[in-house]
């Protein structure tokens, strides 16, 4: 498992790779004179990423990931469309996800990994072909649509499949658009992240899916201050009323 982690850390050229955290950092995020040097590496990642959480940027902490194992919890925040892996109560990885669209919402709750498969294909969603081999539906539902005579159904590929629910919701490689809910209910991950997590999780690993951020989220103050500033900016942008 260690070799796989080192491979993904080396391949993550676009990611922020940090060397550790300071647990005693004291920063007043509401203070305009906030001292950047006093922030932890993860705080810096969020603070300097003006588009966070709606960003495709990935955060990886090499030192923490070296200690990651199947007991480390994964949190999926639906409102942020971000996933986070915690090691020793610290963020070891943070990445964008695309969860269920409004028509197929991702269920919330605490889950455990029930099954995992490196190369997996959906038995429900995929492409439908006619007898001539022509694709007649690129978003077919095999549970509600009949395969044409002589035709076939081809399930969508779901690499690094990690199943969470009895009815087929799980995490896997898929198309991710920052901040967008796109799937049929599953949690789509960037391929680099899904491969890393697949190597870490085992049967019974804990995954928590929630609409709101996790209670122990370490940069809640930064995000709250950002919301205040955005609200003030929007208020100042309002045109004056005509007499």
The partner residues of 159 in beta bridges, in order of sequence, read none
Q: Lowest-confidence range among 70-74, 138-142, 144-148?
A: 138-142
Structure tokens at 125: 């969603």
pLDDT tens digit sequence for 70-97: 999 999 999 999 999 999 999 999 999 9
Cβ neighbours of residue 92 closer than 8 Å, sequence gap 6 or more: 60, 61, 64, 65, 68, 72, 85, 86
d(CA 155, CA 126): 4
Compare 75 and 224 and report the one with higher pLDDT: 75
Tens-digit pLDDT profile for residues 172-181: 999 999 999 9
The CATH code of the domain at 2-112+166-236 is 2.40.440.10
pLDDT (0 to 100) of residue 239? 61
Total-model pTM: 0.81
Higher pLDDT, 32 or 160: 160
**How is the chain split into domains, by residue range?**
2-112+166-236
**Partners of 172 in the beta sheet?**
188
Separation between Cα atoms, residue 149 and residue 130, nearest integer Å: 7
Q: Which of 189, 167, 163 is nearest to 104 (CA)?
A: 167
Owner of token pair 């898929």: 174
Q: Which H or E element spans position 9?
A: helix 2-11
């Amino acid at each position: 498992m260690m070799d796989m982690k080192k491979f993904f850390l080396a391949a993550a050229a676009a990611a922020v790779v940090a060397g550790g955290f300071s647990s005693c950092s004291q920063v007043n995020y509401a203070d305009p004179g906030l001292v950047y040097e006093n922030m932890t590496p993860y705080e810096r990642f969020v603070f300097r990423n003006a588009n966070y959480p709606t960003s495709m940027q990935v955060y990886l902490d090499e030192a923490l990931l070296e200690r990651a194992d199947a007991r480390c919890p994964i949190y999926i925040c639906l409102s942020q469309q971000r996933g986070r892996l915690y090691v020793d109560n610290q963020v070891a990885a943070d990445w964008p996800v695309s969860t269920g669209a409004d028509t197929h919402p991702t269920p919330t709750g605490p889950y455990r990994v029930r099954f995992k498969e490196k190369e997996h294909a959906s038995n429900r969603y995929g492409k439908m072909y006619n007898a001539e081999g022509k694709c007649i539906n690129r978003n077919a539902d095999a549970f509600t649509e009949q395969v044409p005579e002589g035709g076939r159904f081809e399930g969508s590929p779901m690499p690094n499949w990690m199943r969470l629910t009895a009815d087929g919701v799980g995490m896997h490689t898929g198309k991710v658009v920052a901040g967008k809910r796109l799937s049929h209910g599953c949690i789509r991950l960037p391929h680099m992240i899904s491969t890393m997590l697949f190597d870490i999780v085992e049967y019974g690993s804990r995954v928590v899916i929630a609409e709101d951020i996790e209670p122990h989220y370490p940069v809640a103050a930064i995000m709250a201050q950002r919301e205040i500033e955005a609200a003030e900016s929007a208020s100042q942008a309002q045109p004056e009323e005509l007499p």
